Amino acid sequence: MNRSIILGIIAIALVVFYSLWMDGITLPLCVFLIIVAIIIGWKWMKKRNGENETDELLPSELTVDDLTAQFGQPEDVILLNAARANEALGVILAYKDFLVVEGHRIDKSDITDVTFNNSGTPYAPGEYQVIIATNSPTDGHIHVKTGYDATWTKDVVEEIKNNL
């Protein structure tokens, strides 16, 4: 029997059991709380059973080995963040006609500009970001975090421009 069906039967049994000893005001409250719990449990089971999942891996789950298996051996590897050097979020793979940024292929002909930005605010320090502007309607501006060092980020931007 499905877990949510068992939980529903237990909830109904509890409502019946408590209705024998409760006064008229707390019974509707108890029924309302049980209905809300069943709805939340149903949505949780739907999500847990994978109805919202896709077969595609997230960029944070991809490794450099996964990317090279998918796109082939790159001509150059641009290191964005040394702490994430084996992850798709830590490198940009440069090929002859395209770049692989965060696991997504971007044609070099679509890239219009490469610059960097500090995402910090007056209230909290923020990481520097490399911003890759494209003329592709699906990609737009791509923001890639590089850490807290401005010189490192400037060097990364120069490496990307040299590979274009």
For 137-159, the pLDDT digits (tens) are 777 788 888 888 888 888 888 98
Using CA of residue 54, residue 146, residue 115, residue 156, what is the dihedral sign?
A: negative
Whole-structure pTM value? 0.59
Q: Which residue has the higher pLDDT, 124 or 19?
A: 124
Degrees to nearest 5, angle at CA 57 with 113 and 137: 30
- Confirm if 130 and 157 have CB atoms less than 8 A apart: yes
Torsion over CA of 116, 117, 119 and 121, rounded to 10 degrees? Answer: 160
Q: Which residue has the higher pLDDT, 70 or 33?
A: 70
Distance, CA of 76 to CA of 110 (rounded, Å):
19
CB atoms within 10 A of CB 30: 16
Tell me the chain's radius of gyration from C-alpha atoms.
Answer: 26
Choice among 26-35, 70-79, 80-89 with the minimum mean pLDDT: 26-35
**Bridging pattern class, strands 104-107 and 76-79:** unpaired
Give the model's pLDDT for residue 19. 65
* Rounded mean pLDDT, 91-95: 86
User: Residue 57: is its pLDDT beyond 60?
Assistant: no
